[in-house]
């Protein structure tokens, strides 16, 4: 396409489309890498993987033999649940 601009994503994000959904309801999935997950949650790498093993944090998606990423919406949902739990416990 001549003259079309493409938006360059940050290195920590890649996008994928759910091709299993109907063509009118394609959902966009945003993958984020570990540095952004750490920044969003304030957790260390060790804490993140300990919570994953305890089934208390979203598991990453394998992108390749040596590459994983997290679904941004799942991390946001986890964070909202933490805030709600914190507010209801007080």
| pLDDT tens digits in sequence order for the chain, 90 residues long | 444 444 454 555 555 444 455 433 346 899 999 999 999 999 999 999 999 999 999 999 999 999 999 999 999 999 999 999 999 976
Within-domain flag for 28: yes
- Number of domains the chain contains: 1
Gap between the Cα atoms of 62 and 64, Å rounded: 6
Backbone phi, psi, residue 85, to 5°: -65, -40
Within-domain flag for 1: no
Q: What is the pLDDT of residue 90?
A: 65
Within-domain flag for 2: no
Q: CB–CB of 29/15 below 8 Å?
A: yes
CATH number for 76: 1.10.1660
Tell me the residue range of the domain where 42 lies.
13-89
The model carries a pTM of 0.70
Within-domain flag for 48: yes
Q: What is the pLDDT of residue 22?
A: 45
């Amino acid at each position: 396409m001549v003259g079309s601009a493409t938006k360059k994503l940050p290195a920590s994000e890649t996008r994928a489309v759910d091709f299993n959904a109907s063509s009118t309801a394609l959902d966009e999935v945003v993958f984020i890498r570990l540095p952004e997950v750490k920044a969003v949650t304030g957790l260390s790498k060790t804490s993140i993987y300990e919570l994953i093993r305890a089934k208390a944090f979203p598991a990453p998606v394998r992108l390749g033999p040596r590459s994983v990423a997290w679904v941004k919406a799942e991390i946001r949902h986890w964070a909202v649940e933490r805030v709600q739990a914190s507010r209801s416990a007080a």
